[in-house]
Every structure is written in C-alpha cells, then in structure tokens.
Structure 1
C-alpha cells in the first residue's frame, strides 16, 4: 500500500502537482485514506529517492531537479530509477533469459561464491520507442527462486516487490565512460568502440542481503545521472 502511495507522490512531483512542498502528513492521510504510519513510510520511500528534503518544524520540500531532460537516472536510492516524464513509456526487448553458474571473475564482482546459480537477463530497453540502454542483470536463485517471463519483459523490480517483498535499501554504484564491445554495440545499433555512459550496480535489500547485480550501457540522447546526498552528521 505505501509503495503505491509513494509512486503516486513521485508522479505528482514529476508532473508539477507538488512543485514546492508536500502537503502535511494529516492532509495526505485524509487524501489517501490511510493511517499516518502508512503515509510516513510512503514519504520515506520518496525521501530516499532524493526527491525531498526535510525542514525541521516545516515539513518536506521538493528538491529542484538538475535538468529538464526526460532521461535523468536517479542514483539516490541506488536502483537506477529513471526520472522521465510519467507520460513516457519504458519497454524492453529480451535478448537472453536463462540460469547460469557464475565464473570466478563474475563471483568477485558480485561478492558471492564461485559457481553460485543466478538468473541472467540481457535486454535492450526503449524509452518512447527510442533505444535507451543495454542491461545485463543477475539475480541469485537462492533469493529469487522464480523469475517469470512476464516480469523480465516488464519490470523485474516491481515483480520482486510484489512476489518476494524485496525492495532495494542500499546499493553500490559505479559510473564510467566505456567503449562498446562488438557484442554490446550490435543490439544498441552502435559501432564497436563507441564511448558511452555505463552504470554498474550492486543492490541490497533488508539487512544488507545482495539480490541484484547489473551493468548497463546508455545511449539515450541527453542521458544524465542524479544523486542526492543528505548530511547525516549530528554535529
């Protein structure tokens, strides 16, 4: 329930309904007809995504976004959530969907044991029918026993939330400029050696439980990354 409310608040921030400040908790409680605790959990999700700042005694204010681009990747929560317009559509073309046993090199990247069984998903993603990125992602079968074709073709993270109550709580992100290999360039319609933005992520849920590793190459025009840092010092 609170995730649905969080998503609705995010949509209202993106479309300008909430452009300066969120309504009070009491107003949101009345609007969504839920408990104050549910509203607080929803606000916490939005806050973690870097869209809000809290002013003591005054409430939650909307952070100004750094660009009008419809393809800003929000790294504040660590899942690479796109901050494109709610009217935009993100779709997928699956290249590979199978189970593998990770090699020693792959295991080191994911910090798991050699030969760990993983779901492997390779897909090209499109934003409004224009190529967005090439994504290689991996999910340990010990954490995600079942991964469906429908989920792979749509939103894997939504499936994990709904099926296993898995939500990302922390991540490690690495952004770089990389030259495309021939295998990467072909599905992206690019030339080998073309330099693009790349993002690798380790995603964790619950008590630091690893559930996903991904590496993506972005070719969408105007692609940017956004990160919001909060000062947690008590001084």
Structure 2
C-alpha cells in the first residue's frame, strides 16, 4: 500500500509544478498565504510549512510586508542540497522519502566533552544514539547523537524510527531554539563503510552540531556523516530589496 505524502508536501509539489510550468513566473509574486489556504482547503500554517520548504530549496523568497516571489533559476541548486542554516530536522526537510534504521540506542555517563557541550553534570546520564537515515531506501546520512536523558526519559525506538524533533515539539512541548554547526571533511571509518557503502579512505562530509531549546538549554550534540557524492550544503543569501 502506497503511503500518501503529507498535505504540506503535496501542496509544495503543486506550487513547484506551477513554477516549473511557468504559471508562476520568476520575479513575480505568488498568491498570498490566505489565498492559497482557501484554494487548498488547509490552514495558513500548513501553507507556511509548504512555502518554507520551497524557500529552503531556493525556489521562492519573501519580501517583508510585500509578499512571496518566485526567485528563478539558481545554477548551483541540486536536489541533494540542504540549507546549512536551517534547523528543522531531516524529516521536515525530506518528508515521506525519509526512513530510519536504529543502529545503537544506549544510555551512557557523560565524558568531559559531553558535559561541556550539553551543559550537564558528571552524574547525568546521556542517550547515545546512532541512526542510519535513508532516502527512498538508499543510505543518506549516518547520525551519531547524544542527548541528556533528563529531557526525554521516555524516548524509545518507535520515536527514533521517525522524528526526534517532532517528538520534542509535539509530545514534550519543547520549543527548538537554534543550532551551531561546523562542517568539515573526513575520511570514511568502519561505520561509514558498513552503513553508507563508502570505500576505505573515501571523503566524508561531517556536520558537528550543538542544538538548544528556546530557553537556552542544549538538547543535542551530534555528528552527521554522508558520502562526498550524496549530500551537500547551501547558504542562500538574498537581499530582498534587490532580489
């Protein structure tokens, strides 16, 4: 049985098609959120989520107080790009194409490094999580994540196979604040070879991240690794007055 994509993804795909077909022309405004919400029979928040995804992909941009416009072609844009400054998690970014394989899920006591990054004491347990994220059932990113157990004591394998961020926001009512990321290159290790299909000494792109809640409390210290030819990161920098 084929799983139907979430409504916001369906709407985003329709708007993407209209841009591709020239219905929404480059440098022209698309209908406002209220108009689109009425057309598709959904809430304004659902439309916003659809437009956020298209903005992340570099297809549209917003002029404050003036509406949302079609950006036009960006020569460097490719489907595997991820916005380097976006903090929504892979599930929000990739939707139903994404699935997860839990490789490791244990509780450990923190090292000095974890104590520093997560702002915890030496006697506070840490969740130690390794997941393989797959896109269309193909290996995409290998994630090694550390989280303070006190923030999410009931985290389980069911959640790990889907979205931790959705669990934090919807089940625990925690508000995500932001993240600091360092992106660098590395050589493949044994886990990359086993789960990502890398070859020995293949280049690996690694994103080291510390993420925190709106109240400033760190909830994640993680490493996301992907093959050099699988994923890249983009920064879209627009001056709205001149776009």
Give yes or no for the alignment of 1:149 onto 2:148: no
- Deviation, structure 1 residue 175: 0.6
**Structure 2: where are the runs of 5+ without partners?**
1-5
- Deviation, structure 1 residue 220: 6.8
Residue aligning to 1:77: 86
Residue aligning to 1:112: 120
- TM-score, normalised by the number of residues in structure 2: 0.73
- Deviation, structure 1 residue 10: 4.7
- CA 1:188–1:62: 2 relative to 1, 3 Å: same
- CA 1:156–1:139: 2 relative to 1, 3 Å: same
Give yes or no for the alignment of 1:27 onto 2:35: yes
Residue 52 of structure 2: which of 37, 46, 50 is its match? 46
Distance in 2, matches of 1:76 and 1:115, equals 33
Distance in 2, matches of 1:206 and 1:230, equals 26
- TM-score, normalised by the number of residues in structure 1: 0.75
Distance in 2, matches of 1:72 and 1:82, equals 15
Give yes or no for the alignment of 1:202 onto 2:210: yes
Distance in 2, matches of 1:77 and 1:174, equals 13
Cα contact 2:205–2:228 (8 A) shared by 1: no
RMSD: 3.6
Count the aligned residue pairs: 225
**Structure 1: where are the runs of 5+ without partners?**
none
